[in-house]
């Protein structure tokens, strides 16, 4: 793998998506950023994505994608991220414009032009599933998919479903069954890496605007978590999926068979991770994340915010 892997980040910013974009910009070659309906409606996640790209001086264009899931109505996470996706956080003004190409077209075209690309989905998997439906050979062209979604144990929207999978289970099922090499950063992993006020305080010592925006993002999500009765801390979900590509040695992944429940009354959107060790279990299709070195991950987060682009 090259020192800086080539990524396309598919996201729904989202506080933690924004932090993940900072990490991707610091440690990878971000070819493009695609937006999807998820934490907030598509217009909001797209506006936030291009605002972060501008803040970072990223050369990646932003492509707007799907405004709702494959089946049913769009579902958002306003209770956590606010109605616009980034709560009270105001991103700096900029003059960048959204690409005219649709995100799904971009995913297909970009992976035809370059073969070693990682897709890093940080929201519902609608864009990725649509691209695979239209071009099934896409999964053979890419290096892999490192996604934030699912869980080996408990969920966050329901007892067993995590938001990104729950918001579009049909898309997640297509992606999990696509044959692509997949790294799954689920809640069981991402909840091992928590931010708190000390992280925000350290970012406030930085001189770069991106560090101050990062601190504002953390302050806002910590306020929201506190108001929800969860304490002034937040799991850094989406950054895990970026570091799983740029710094894989920080992680423990295990091969597992994973599929997605689309029909259960109580279990729709659950990632069904087969942890049996008996003979005859289905062949593994996903590398499931079980452990992250959160101390090293945090140092990488600080460096990403503190380093100016050369
Ligand atoms: C996931 O859902 C969103 O709220 C976050 O951005 C993250 O991608 C966590 O369940
Ligand atoms: Ca997200």
Q: Tens of pLDDT along 29-65?
A: 999 999 999 999 999 999 999 999 999 999 999 999 9
pLDDT at 284 over 90: yes
Q: Please indicate whether residue 237 is annotated as part of the active site.
A: yes
Ligand 1 atom with least separation from CA of 17:
6
Which of 148, 106, 97, 111 has the alpha carbon at shortest distance from 127?
106
pLDDT at 2 over 70: no
- Kindly state the percentage of the chain with pLDDT values over 90: 97
Which residues, in sequence order, are bridge partners of residue 285? Answer: none
pLDDT at 83 over 80: yes
d(CA 123, CA 171): 11
Q: Is the peptide bond before 14 cis (omega within 30 degrees of 0)?
A: yes
d(CA 177, CA 129): 10
Q: Cβ neighbours of residue 295 under 8 Å, at least 6 residues apart?
A: none
Tell me if 92 is assigned to some domain. Answer: yes
Range 105-122 average pLDDT: 97
The residues placing their C-beta within 5 Å of ligand 2, an ion, are 12, 14, 17, 122-123, 238
Tell me if 269 is assigned to some domain. Answer: yes
The CATH number given to whatever domain includes residue 105 is 3.90.245.10
Ligand 1 contacts (CB < 6 A) are: 14, 16-17, 39, 77, 80, 122-123, 148, 156, 162-164, 237-238
Catalytic residue among 76, 81, 222, 237: 237
- E strand spans, the chain: 6-11, 29-35, 61-64, 117-121, 144-148, 182-185, 194-196, 233-235, 251-260, 271-274, 286-292
pLDDT at 259 over 90: yes
pLDDT at 1 over 70: no
Residue 239: domain span: 6-306
Q: What is the pLDDT of residues 10-26, one digit of tens each?
A: 999 999 999 999 999 99
Tell me if 50 is assigned to some domain. Answer: yes
Tell me if 1 is assigned to some domain. Answer: no
Ligand 1 atom with least separation from CA of 235:
9
- Give the model's confidence band at 159: pLDDT under 50 very low, under 70 low, under 90 confident, else very high: very high
Instruction: Please report the pLDDT score of residue 207 as a whole number.
Output: 87
In total, the chain counts a number of residues equal to 310
Ligand 1 atom with least separation from CA of 162:
10
Instruction: Please report the pLDDT score of residue 310 as a whole number.
Output: 53
CA distances from 175 to 5, 102, 254 (A): 21, 19, 18
Average pLDDT, the chain: 97
Instruction: Please report the pLDDT score of residue 12 as a whole number.
Output: 98
Q: How many CB atoms lie within 10 A of CB 212?
A: 15
Give pTM, 2 decimals: 0.98
Q: What angle do CA 233, 261, 243 make, to 5 degrees?
A: 40
pLDDT at 91 over 80: yes
Per the structure, the count of domains in the chain is 1
Which of 149, 165, 184 has the alpha carbon at shortest distance from 287?
184
Tell me if 63 is assigned to some domain. Answer: yes
Please tell me the residue having the least CA distance from ligand 1 atom 2: 163
Instruction: Please report the pLDDT score of residue 308 as a whole number.
Output: 81
């Amino acid at each position: 793998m090259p020192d800086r892997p080539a990524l396309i980040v598919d996201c729904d910013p989202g506080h933690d998506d924004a932090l993940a974009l900072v990490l991707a910009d610091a440690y990878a070659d971000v070819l493009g950023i695609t937006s999807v309906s998820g934490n907030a409606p598509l217009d909001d996640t797209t506006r936030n994505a291009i605002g972060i790209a501008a803040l970072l001086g990223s050369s990646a264009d932003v492509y707007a994608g799907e405004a709702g899931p494959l089946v049913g109505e769009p579902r958002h996470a306003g209770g956590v991220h606010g109605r616009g996706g980034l709560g009270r956080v105001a991103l700096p003004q900029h003059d960048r414009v959204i690409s005219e190409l649709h995100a799904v077209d971009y995913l297909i075209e970009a992976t035809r032009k370059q073969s070693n690309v990682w897709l890093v989905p940080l929201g519902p998997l609608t864009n990725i599933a649509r691209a695979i439906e239209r071009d099934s050979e896409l999964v053979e062209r890419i290096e892999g998919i490192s996604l934030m979604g699912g869980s080996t144990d408990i969920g966050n929207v329901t007892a067993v479903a995590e938001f990104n999978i729950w918001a579009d289970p049909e898309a997640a099922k297509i992606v999990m069954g696509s044959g692509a090499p997949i790294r799954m950063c689920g809640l069981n992993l991402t909840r091992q890496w928590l931010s708190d006020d000390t992280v925000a305080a350290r970012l406030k010592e930085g001189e770069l605007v991106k560090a101050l925006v990062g601190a504002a993002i953390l302050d806002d999500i910590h306020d929201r978590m506190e108001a929800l009765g969860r304490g002034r801390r937040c799991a850094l979900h989406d950054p895990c999926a970026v570091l799983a590509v740029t710094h894989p040695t920080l992680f423990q992944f295990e091969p597992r068979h994973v599929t997605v429940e689309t029909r259960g009354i109580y279990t729709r959107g659950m990632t069904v991770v087969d942890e049996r060790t008996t003979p005859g279990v289905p062949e593994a299709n996903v590398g499931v994340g079980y452990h992250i070195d959160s101390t090293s991950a945090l140092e990488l987060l600080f460096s990403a915010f503190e380093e100016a682009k050369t």
